[in-house]
Structure formats: structure tokens, C-alpha cells
């Protein structure tokens, strides 16, 4: 079975984003970028399935600018076999990404597509579900355990209140939650090897997808700032404050 | 504008998250509800009483029992022929189903909205809540998920909606429900609690977490939350997690114990009315958002606090 893993280049999760003064967006110039953390988990899961003999080949895909190549090289260094970059300098919405991925799925016919549950930049949490809908395939979202048995995949999902297990008919779409696994670090020899793994470059038009945004961003603003608080010297003062507030 | 609201329920009663979605939907226009489940007529009766509800579509079929997106999304998409907007609370079901509906309708979903600024204009958080985007949809139909803490809850009485049976294509045969492990708790539910006591990595282990955090929470009648670090370390189950990738909460009082305040955690709780932080590191970022801070060792301060309440 082949596994397709879409990955996204996003602002590093440790960086505090700064909103541009003109309200047009978040300043990404000279900011450290990395692979979306949920996508690292997706790559790791695909590699583990390959190590178990379930998967034969792992194809990493990214939709984004030329620099998204670095993100794909990271996936290759972790253990993906080859990569496809669908290059565009425009910001592409989840619906358009899902349409591009549908085109790639139809060409590559993977048994599983493993995506992150959400990207930490737009926080949408949509692409996996949209891809499943467009392909008419089942979806196992927010996965914390994935087991492939024959022509089905059993997915344990993190839901409000606990866990839920569903069985999906393959081919299927899975999106990863944080506790699915601990992604490995790429070793230096593997980073070197990744440089010679195949990376194909495509364009959204190759899949006949129009990436014109459906949502127009009118403004991006800082969230309201909380007014400065006070520090209390001891527990007694805190108790008094809580009583004042009517909490205790 | 006719809006269809996803009713979150457990086949016996309507969940609170639905009520915030109804408030948001009523700002868009006429509110219709969808109750999809199995043996859920009682839920429809209850839903019909929610203030401002016009009609309740009841899809009662074994295929909808566990809200599997593969079965439910085509049902919603077919009902959308006579509606202009689909509104779901941003619960795990809402987040699972709504994008599937959006793609079936060929529209972009607007996720986790905070406010409605115009018929097609919304605000939503991005970058873990560090930037608030105002977006305008150009799609013919709207698909929206609503952040529960950003809208008031609609009243559960006063409505007189008519219940109407809705037929769907039933089981798509793509997926099946195997089972669920729901964590049992006698404490208030995290997302609707007025007071939350949350613990972080500094609690050391599961036993210490129980001994320090739970008595304080019980004293205050509070729900218990946790940072990702505490969940990953196995102190508490993962549905306790507050943050960008866990639950988003906005209680009256949020007490953060031994939580440093990483941006991913703040994204889940910084809209709380009053934030209280107890941490021994006076430079911890949590103190930048805390209304009341106490720099102290939690192992002595929290039991003392519990004792004096």
C-alpha cells in the first residue's frame, strides 16, 4: 500500500506571531518556519506503518512556495520515499488544497492519506475532511491510534469527553492528533540522503484547480490586550480576593 | 437567510454547545435545527423548545446513531438545498462533519467564529489566537463552526418549533462505530464550567495532580483542566487539555497552577474573565495574562488555599 502525507510549511510553533501594523496579516518576513507539528506526526505514523510492513511507499506532498521544498526535504529525511511540491506563491485555502490533493490521489492511488488535524497558522481543521468528501471516502479525524487490518483501518479518535473507535473501509483519510506518536528527528546521514531523493514540482493548474480564495480577509488585528494584573504576596490575600469576587 | 443548526446531543438530551450555535444562527436569520441520531425523538422535543427555533428536522435512523460524518454529511448537504447557511458548534462532532458538508457543497468553511460582523462577514482567531482575522465569504451558501464561549447561550424554553421528519440516504457503508471510552467525571463539564482549576507539568505525577488539584476544584465546585504537558505526561486523560488543540474555555475564573503559559495553552483560556496564576517562577509568561498572581511553591500554597476556603 502507498501512503500519501500532505505537509505544510508554517511559522514555527515557538514563535510568537506579530500582526502587521497595516492590518493586512501576520508578519512572516525573517520568521523561523517549520513543518506543521501535526504533519510531523502524520509523517511519523506513515513511516511506522512502513516499518511494520503495512506500507510499501510514502509520498510527501506540499502545496506552497518554492521554500516548501525544505519542508518536503525534512519529510524525506524522516523517511518518506519521494515528494511532490505543488508550487504557488498565493495563499491557498483548505478547499483548494483538498482539490489539489484529490488530483494527486487520483494519480497516485494511495491506500491511506494521513494529514495533520489542523495547521497552526490558519487553525482551520478542514483539509482532511474536505479531501475525504471530495473523494467520497471515509475519514478518521483526530486520530490517537491507527491500525490497518486487511482492507480496513481502525482509528481511535480523540473526541469531547474521551475516545471513540471507528472502523473505516480502505482507501481512507486519517488526520492526526497530538498523542498519536512522538515524531523522530532526522539524523544527519538521513538529511544528506534526503537531498538525492526524488522531488517533483507541479502547479495547481496541472490538477485543474482554481486557487482563487473564497474568503476575503478584510482585516487582521491583535487580540484585545488584557489589562495588567496584580501580584498578591500570600495565600491569605488570595483567599480574600476570591471571597471578594464571590467565588469562595 | 435560513440557517440550519447542527444539534449536538447524546440521543437523550441537547448539549449546551448547541445553544451558542443557535444564538449565532439567529443573528443570521431564521433558525432551523437538525437532530440526527437514533431513537432521539426526545432530543427533537427538547430542541423545539429552544427560544427562537422555527423548525426541527428530525433524522432518526440507526445510521446516524454515532454521528459518523460519512453518513451525516450527505444528509446535511441534501437539507442545504433549502437553507442558506449551516451552523455547527465547534465541538469534535461539529469539526468532523462541517468541513465534509462544505466540500460537498463546494464552499469554504469559516471555522470557529468569534462574532458576526455582517451577513457574510465574521471574525475568527488564527495563529493560536494571536491574530483575529475578519473574513468575508463570497460563497453562495455558508458553512460555519461557532466557538461556544464567544456567544451567549440561547434560552432552553420559550420556543415552539415544529418537528418534521427528514429522510436521508442512511448508511453510506464506508465506516462503522466500534466503541467509545468516555471519561467519567462528577465534576462540571470543562467547556461550560464557571470555575476551572487547571494543572501543569509542575504537578510531578498523576497522584500528586489528584492530591493537589482535585481537592481545590471540589472546594470551589470547579471543573479540572490541564496543560498539554500534564496530559502528555499522563497525569490526567487528554480530554482535560485546555489549549489551541484541546478545549477552548472562557470561565468566570480560571486558576492556573504550575502552568508556565505557553502560547498554545493561552489560546485555550485567555478569554476567561479572571485568570489566577500560582507559579513559583515569577517570570513565567502566565503572569502576563493573569489578573491575580501568586509567586509561591504550589505544593505548599495550594493545600493552604484549599484549607482556608
Please determine, for residue B183, whether its predicted confidence score (pLDDT) is greater than 80.
Answer: no
User: What is the side-by-side strand order in the sheet with B2-6?
Assistant: B109-113, B142-146, B85-89, B2-6, B30-37, B53-60, B162-165
- First vs last Cα of chain A: how many Å apart? 59
Pairing type for strands A152-159 and A215-221 reads unpaired
CB contact at 8 A, A156 and A144:
yes
pLDDT at B123: 98
**pLDDT band of B286, cuts 50, 70, 90:** very high
Pairing type for strands A139-149 and A9-11 reads unpaired
Cis omega (within 30 of 0) for bond into A171: yes
Mutating which of B71, B96, B264, B293 best tests the A interface, going by the most A Cβ atoms within 10 A?
A: B96
In chain B, % of residues over pLDDT 70: 100
Give the mean model confidence (pLDDT) for residues A52-80: 98
**pLDDT band of B90, cuts 50, 70, 90:** very high
pLDDT at B170: 79
3-class state of residue A53 by DSSP: coil
Please give the C-alpha separations between residue A34 and each of A6, A38, A66, in angstroms, as whole numbers: 14, 11, 14
Please determine, for residue B184, whether its predicted confidence score (pLDDT) is greater than 80.
Answer: no
Given an 8 Å threshold on Cβ–Cβ distance, is A234 in contact with B296? yes
In this prediction the pTM is 0.94
State phi, psi for B207 to the nearest 5 degrees: -65, -45
Residue appearing with cell numbers 498523576 = B206
pLDDT at B185: 77
Residue B243 gets the label, from left (phi > 0), alpha (psi -120 to 50) or beta, of: left
Please determine, for residue B169, whether its predicted confidence score (pLDDT) is greater than 80.
Answer: no
Please determine, for residue A99, whether its predicted confidence score (pLDDT) is greater than 80.
Answer: yes
Please determine, for residue B137, whether its predicted confidence score (pLDDT) is greater than 90.
Answer: yes
Query: What's chain B's average pLDDT?
Result: 95
Query: Which of A154, A162, A222 has the CB atom closest to B181's CB atom?
Result: A162
Pairing type for strands A2-6 and A57-64 reads parallel
State phi, psi for B39 to the nearest 5 degrees: 65, 40
Q: Is the ipTM of this complex over 0.85?
A: yes
Which chain A residues touch B232 with a CB distance below 8 Å? 178-179
Please determine, for residue B164, whether its predicted confidence score (pLDDT) is greater than 80.
Answer: yes
Q: Which three cell numbers mark B22?
A: 443557535
Give Cα A138 to chain centroid, integer Å: 18
Given an 8 Å threshold on Cβ–Cβ distance, is A177 in contact with B245? yes
Closest by CA to A76, choosing from A192, A208, A205, is A192
pLDDT at A161: 84
CB contact at 8 A, B196 and B283:
no
pLDDT at A225: 85
Give the mean model confidence (pLDDT) for residues A217-226: 93
Query: Which of A163, A179, A217 has the CB atom closest to B180's CB atom?
Result: A163
pLDDT tens digits for B103-126?
999 999 999 999 999 999 999 999
User: Rounded to whole angstroms, how far apart are CA atoms B290 and B72?
Assistant: 42
User: Rounded to whole angstroms, how far apart are CA atoms B146 and B112?
Assistant: 5
CB contact at 8 A, A80 and A5:
yes
pLDDT at A247: 80
Please determine, for residue A248, whether its predicted confidence score (pLDDT) is greater than 80.
Answer: no
Which chain B residues touch A215 with a CB distance below 8 Å? 108, 110, 135-138
Q: How many alpha carbons lie under 13 Å from residue B226 in its C-beta half-sphere?
A: 25
User: What is the helix (H) or strand (E) element at residue B275, kind and residue range?
Assistant: strand B274-279
User: Rounded to whole angstroms, how far apart are CA atoms B150 and A6?
Assistant: 32
The residues facing B146 across adjacent strands are B89, B113
pLDDT tens digits for A68-96?
999 999 999 999 999 999 999 999 999 99
Which range among A161-175, B35-49, B56-70, B178-192 shows the weakest confidence by mean pLDDT?
Answer: B178-192
**pLDDT band of A246, cuts 50, 70, 90:** confident
Give the mean model confidence (pLDDT) for residues B290-301: 96
Please determine, for residue B191, whether its predicted confidence score (pLDDT) is greater than 90.
Answer: no
User: Rounded to whole angstroms, how far apart are CA atoms A203 and B33?
Assistant: 42
Query: What's chain A's average pLDDT?
Result: 96
Given an 8 Å threshold on Cβ–Cβ distance, is A160 in contact with B136? no
pLDDT at A26: 96
In chain B, % of residues over pLDDT 90: 92
Cis omega (within 30 of 0) for bond into A203: no
Q: Which three cell numbers mark B79?
A: 437539507
Please give the C-alpha separations between residue B141 and each of A33, B83, B102, B137, B169, in angstroms, as whole numbers: 34, 8, 9, 9, 22
Q: Which three cell numbers mark B195?
A: 470555575
pLDDT tens digits for A5-38?
999 999 999 899 999 999 999 999 999 999 999 9
Q: Please tell me the distance in Å from B39's CA to the nearest CA on chain A.
A: 20
User: Rounded to whole angstroms, how far apart are CA atoms A218 and B228?
Assistant: 33
User: Rounded to whole angstroms, how far apart are CA atoms B148 and A30?
Assistant: 35
pLDDT tens digits for A124-181?
999 999 999 999 999 999 999 999 999 999 999 999 888 999 999 999 999 999 989 9
For residues B289 and B169, the model is more confident at: B289
Which chain A residues touch B276 with a CB distance below 8 Å? 238, 242
In chain A, % of residues over pLDDT 90: 93
Q: Which residue of A has its CA nearest to B263?
A: A16
Per-residue burial over A74-86, b = 16 or more CB atoms within 10 Å of its CB, e = otherwise = bbbbbbbbbbbbb
CB contact at 8 A, A72 and A199:
yes
pLDDT tens digits for B207-250?
999 999 999 999 999 999 999 999 999 999 988 999 988 899 99
B305 vs A: CB within 8 A: yes
Please determine, for residue A185, whether its predicted confidence score (pLDDT) is greater than 90.
Answer: yes
3-class state of residue B102 by DSSP: helix
User: Rounded to whole angstroms, how far apart are CA atoms B95 and A127?
Assistant: 11
pLDDT at A157: 97
pLDDT at B225: 96
Please give the C-alpha separations between residue A242 and each of A226, B275, B302, in angstroms, as whole numbers: 19, 11, 14
Q: Which three cell numbers mark A143?
A: 486520530
pLDDT at A20: 96
Please determine, for residue B192, whether its predicted confidence score (pLDDT) is greater than 90.
Answer: no
Q: Which three cell numbers mark B303?
A: 493545600
B270 vs A: CB within 8 A: yes
Amino acid at each position: 500500500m502507498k501512503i500519501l502525507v500532505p505537509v505544510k510549511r508554517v511559522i514555527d510553533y515557538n514563535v510568537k506571531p506579530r500582526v502587521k501594523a497595516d492590518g493586512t496579516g501576520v508578519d512572516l518576513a525573517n520568521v523561523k518556519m517549520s513543518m506543521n507539528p501535526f504533519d510531523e506526526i502524520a509523517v511519523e505514523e506513515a513511516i511506522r506503518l512502513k516499518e511494520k510492513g503495512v506500507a510499501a511507499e510514502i509520498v510527501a506532498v506540499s502545496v506552497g512556495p518554492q521554500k516548501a521544498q525544505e519542508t518536503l526535504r525534512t519529510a524525506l529525511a524522516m523517511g518518506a520515499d519521494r515528494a511532490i511540491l505543488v508550487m504557488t506563491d498565493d495563499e491557498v485555502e483548505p478547499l483548494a488544497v483538498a482539490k489539489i490533493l484529490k488530483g494527486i490521489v487520483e494519480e497516485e492511488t494511495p491506500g491511506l492519506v494521513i494529514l495533520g488535524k489542523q495547521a497552526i497558522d490558519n487553525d482551520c481543521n478542514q483539509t482532511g475532511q474536505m479531501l475525504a468528501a471530495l473523494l467520497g471516502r471515509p475519514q478518521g479525524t483526530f486520530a490517537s491510534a491507527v491500525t490497518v487490518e486487511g482492507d480496513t483501518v481502525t482509528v481511535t479518535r480523540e473526541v469531547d469527553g474521551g475516545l471513540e473507535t471507528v472502523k473505516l473501509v480502505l482507501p481512507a483519510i486519517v488526520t492526526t492528533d497530538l498523542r498519536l506518536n512522538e515524531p523522530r528527528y532526522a539524523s544527519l546521514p538521513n538529511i544528506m540522503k534526503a537531498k538525492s531523493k526524488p522531488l517533483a514540482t507541479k502547479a495547481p493548474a496541472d490538477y485543474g484547480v482554481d486557487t482563487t480564495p473564497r474568503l476575503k480577509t478584510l482585516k487582521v488585528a491583535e487580540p484585545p490586550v488584557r489589562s495588567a494584573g496584580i501580584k498578591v504576596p500570600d495565600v491569605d490575600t488570595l483567599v480574600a480576593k476570591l471571597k471578594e469576587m464571590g467565588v469562595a | 437567510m435560513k440557517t440550519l443548526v447542527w444539534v449536538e446531543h447524546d440521543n437523550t438530551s441537547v448539549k449546551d454547545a448547541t445553544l451558542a450555535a443557535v444564538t449565532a444562527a439567529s443573528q443570521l436569520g431564521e433558525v432551523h435545527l437538525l437532530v440526527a441520531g437514533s431513537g432521539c425523538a426526545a432530543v427533537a422535543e427538547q430542541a423545539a423548545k429552544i427560544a427562537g427555533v422555527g423548525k426541527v428536522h428530525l433524522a432518526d435512523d440507526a445510521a446516524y446513531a454515532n454521528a459518523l460524518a460519512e453518513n451525516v454529511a450527505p444528509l446535511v448537504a441534501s437539507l442545504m438545498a433549502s437553507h442558506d447557511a449551516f451552523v455547527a458548534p465547534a465541538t469534535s462532532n461539529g469539526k468532523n462533519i462541517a468541513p465534509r458538508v462544505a466540500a460537498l457543497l463546494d464552499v469554504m468553511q469559516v471555522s470557529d467564529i468569534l462574532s458576526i460582523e455582517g451577513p457574510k462577514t465574521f471574525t475568527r482567531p488564527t495563529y493560536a489566537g494571536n491574530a483575529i482575522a475578519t473574513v468575508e465569504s463570497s460563497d453562495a451558501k455558508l458553512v460555519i463552526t461557532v466557538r461556544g464561549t464567544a456567544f451567549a447561550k440561547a434560552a432552553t424554553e420559550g420556543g415552539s418549533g415544529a418537528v418534521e421528519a427528514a429522510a436521508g440516504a442512511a448508511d453510506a457503508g464506508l465506516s462503522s462505530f466500534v466503541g467509545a471510552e468516555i471519561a467519567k467525571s462528577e465534576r462540571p463539564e470543562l467547556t461550560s464550567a464557571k470555575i476551572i482549576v487547571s494543572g501543569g507539568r509542575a504537578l510531578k505525577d498523576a497522584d500528586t495532580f489528584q492530591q493537589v488539584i482535585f481537592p481545590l476544584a471540589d472546594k470551589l465546585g470547579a471543573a479540572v483542566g490541564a496543560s498539554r504537558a500534564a496530559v502528555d505526561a499522563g497525569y490526567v486523560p487528554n480530554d482535560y487539555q485546555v489549549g489551541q488543540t484541546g478545549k477552548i474555555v472562557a470561565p468566570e475564573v480560571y486558576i492556573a497552577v504550575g502552568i508556565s503559559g505557553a502560547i498554545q495553552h493561552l489560546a485555550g483560556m485567555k478569554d476567561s474573565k479572571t485568570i489566577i496564576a500560582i507559579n513559583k517562577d515569577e517570570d513565567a509568561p502566565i503572569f502576563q495574562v493573569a489578573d491575580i498572581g501568586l509567586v509561591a511553591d504550589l505544593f505548599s500554597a495550594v493545600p493552604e488555599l484549599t484549607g482556608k476556603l
